[in-house]
Structure 1
């Protein structure tokens, strides 16, 4: 049985990347990342433990939850940049 002739395809050349290989993170990166997550967690826990919601900042009332979760989210987003 005769074999079919293959089509001549141009060879694939990947595009050149203009990005340089990035080095490791600075020394302060991991402590700040973990610190943000822990401080956010402590902020939310403090808000719930204070029964009358007097702590950490009584003027912003339920926005204390938003502050705590924003701190935790900032720490979590830093984990995506951790090398």
Structure 2
């Protein structure tokens, strides 16, 4: 049976040096307005859920009690929209 040829292995330093390509970052850092809206949405969603749990059946929040389980969608919707904004944050 014929013997297969032995290949020379590249060194790890040579392999990573050839694969590096410079990456240009487009644009500068995010504005403070963008960051404050992003954080505000996440905090507002969290506060919505906390208020729903603590005072959902209070007499001054009857509208929140009438919404029912939709409160979860509203609260988590605000938090997820803030988290989605983090993907564009620089």
TM-score normalised to structure 2 length = 0.61
In structure 2, do the counterparts of structure 1 residues 79 and 53 end up closer, same or farther at CA, with 3 Å as the change threshold? farther
After superposing on structure 2, the runs of 4+ consecutive aligned residues of structure 1 that deviate more than 6 Å are none
Residue 71 of structure 1 corresponds to which residue in structure 2? Answer: 78
Unaligned runs of 5+ in 1: 1-18
**Superposed CA offset, 1:11-66 (max 9, x none):** xxxxxxxx982222122011101100110000001111125276462332110111
SS at match of 1:57: helix
In structure 2, do the counterparts of structure 1 residues 53 and 81 end up closer, same or farther at CA, with 3 Å as the change threshold? farther
How many residues align structurally? 73
Question: Over the residues paired in the alignment, what is the CA RMSD in angstroms?
Answer: 3.2
In structure 2, do the counterparts of structure 1 residues 51 and 40 end up closer, same or farther at CA, with 3 Å as the change threshold? closer
Residue 89 of structure 2 corresponds to which residue in structure 1? Answer: 82
Unaligned runs of 5+ in 2: 1-23
Mapping 1:2-13, distance limit 5 Å? none
Residue 35 of structure 2 corresponds to which residue in structure 1? Answer: 30
